[in-house]
Amino acid sequence: MADPTSPALDTPDAETVARLSYRRALARKKRKEREAAGEIKELNITAMMDMMTILLVFLLKSFASSSAAVTASEDVRPPVSSTRATPRDTVAVTITPKNVLVGDKEVLRLQDGQFPADKLQGRLVLPLDAQLKKEVEKLKYIAARNPSAPFSGELSVIADKKIPYDMLLTVLYTAGQNELENYRFVVLQKEGE
């Protein structure tokens, strides 16, 4: 038993009580600061609007781009087909009765519905060959830096249904000389299909 005359060991002195209450108060303050840090006091609407605008522009750009861009022209009337295949994003060559285009750029004007003799080297169409070389270089450059867009060597041919077969062969020969060996003909889908 403890001697009644000796000081009690369990009763803290005033300094210890003050130190303990200070530690508790400090711990309470830190806990409240941690809880308050997780709360959102106000929303920064400007930053949110900037983010939404960027997303909107990105999505509009993504959805606005068509996988096969057909040059709108009254000269081109592609044949009608019942195919259900979806067009892909490839190099597009458009052949009209008046000119030949790569993408939207005219590369050759036809004379009386034929290739000018000075623009041919055998079956090779020289201006078309030069433009297709540029397109293939661009696609290979993209493929080298982006593995999700490999170079496929595909060509989309958009031709009027009245274009002579020999002219189509000449265009396909020129494309083949530029590593565009897989080709697709763009056609219109039949109504009601």
Q: Is residue 112 part of a domain?
A: yes
Q: Is 159 helix (H, G, I), strand (E, B) or coil?
A: strand
Q: What residue type is 85 in one-letter code?
A: A
Domain presence at residue 33: no
| Residue 161 or residue 57, greater confidence | 57
**Residue 73 is assigned to a structural domain of this protein:** no
For 107-144, give one letter per residue: b (16+ CB within 10 A) or e. bbebeeeebeeebeeeeebbbbbebbeebbeebeeeee
Are the beta carbons of 130 and 119 closer than 8 angstroms? no
Domains in the chain, number: 1
Kindly state whether residue 27 falls inside one of the protein's structural domains.
Answer: no
Q: Which pLDDT does position 64 carry in this prediction?
A: 56
Residue 41, both tokens = 């006091």
Query: Is residue 32 in a domain?
Result: no
Its domain, for residue 109, covers 91-186
Cα–Cα distance measured from residue 36 to residue 41, given in angstroms and rounded to the nearest whole number: 9
Alpha-carbon span 65 to 69, nearest angstrom: 8
User: How far apart are the C-alpha atoms of 178 and 87, rounded to whole Å?
Assistant: 21
Q: What is the mean pLDDT of residues 176-182?
A: 84
pLDDT tens column, 136-174: 888 888 888 887 778 888 888 888 778 888 888 888 888
pLDDT for the residue 125: 86
Give the residue with greater pLDDT, 10 vs 146.
146
Specify if 57 maps to a domain.
Answer: no
Spatial contact of 180 and 150, defined as CB atoms under 8 Å apart? no
- The answer as to whether 43 is a domain residue is no
Asked if 123 contacts 171 with a C-beta cutoff of 8 angstroms, the reply is no
Question: Quick check: is 40 in a domain?
Answer: no
For the stretch 85-108, pLDDT in tens is: 555 567 888 888 888 888 888 888
